[in-house]
Amino acid sequence: MKRFAALLLALAMVFALCACSNGDTGEKGKDDQEVINWDYLSIIPTSNPAMKPIVDFVNEVKEATNGRLVITIREPGELPFTNSEYVRAIGEGSAQMGWGLMPSIAGDLNGSAALSLPFMIQNSDDLKKAMDAIGDTLSEELSAYGADTLFYFNMPAQNLFGSGTPVKTFSDAQKLLIRATGSEMSDFINSIGGVPVTIDNSEVPTSLSRGVVNSVITSALNCYGNSWNENLDWAYMFNLQADTVLTLVNKQALQALPDDVRATLLEISAKYTDLSMKTIADAENDAIAKLKEAGMTFTDAAQSDVDAKVAEYTAYWDTWAQSRGGNAVDCVKAIRTALGK
pLDDT tens digits for 270-323?
Answer: 999 999 999 999 999 999 999 999 999 999 999 999 999 999 888 999 999 999
Handedness of CA 174, 114, 279, 281 (dihedral sign): positive
- How many beta carbons lie within 10 A of that of residue 339, not counting itself? 16
Read off the pLDDT of residues 238-255 as tens digits, 9 standing for 90 and up: 999 999 999 999 999 999
Confidence of residue 28 (pLDDT cuts 50, 70, 90): low
Predicted confidence (pLDDT) at residue 9 exceeds the cutoff of 80: no
In 3-state terms the chain splits into helix, strand, coil percentages (rounded to 5) of: 50, 20, 30
pLDDT value, residue 15: 39
pLDDT in tens, 157-206: 999 999 999 999 999 999 999 999 888 999 999 999 999 999 988 899 99
Is residue 339 predicted with pLDDT exceeding 80?
yes
Residue 25: is it exposed, middle or buried by C-beta count within 10 angstroms (0-12/13-18/19+)?
Answer: middle
CA 272 – CA 250 distance, rounded (Å): 18
> Is the per-residue pLDDT at 11 higher than 80?
no
Give dist(CA 36, CA 61) in Å, integer.
Answer: 12
The pLDDT, as a whole number, for residue 24 is 59
At a CB cut-off of 8 Å and minimum separation 6, what does 247 contact?
54, 57, 97, 98, 99, 100, 149, 150, 151, 152, 269, 272
Residues in the chain: 341
Q: 114-123, 205-214, 307-316: which range is least confident on average? A: 307-316
What share of the chain has pLDDT > 70, as a percent?
Answer: 91
Residue 1 pLDDT > 70, yes or no? no
- Residue 133: partners with Cβ closer than 8 Å, 6 or more residues away: 334, 335, 337, 338
pLDDT digits (tens, 9 = 90+) for 80-115: 998 999 999 999 999 999 999 999 999 999 999 999
Q: Is residue 125 over pLDDT 60? A: yes
Mean pLDDT of 124-148: 97
Task: Give pLDDT, residue 7.
Answer: 47
pLDDT for position 302: 96
d(CA 233, CA 251): 43
SS (H, E, C) 259-296: HHHHHHHHHHHCCHHHHHHHHHHHHHHHHHHHHHHCCC
Cα–Cα–Cα angle for 62, 4, 128, nearest 5°? 105
Domains of the chain as residue ranges with CATH = 2-157+243-284 (3.40.190.170), 159-240+294-330 (3.40.190.170)
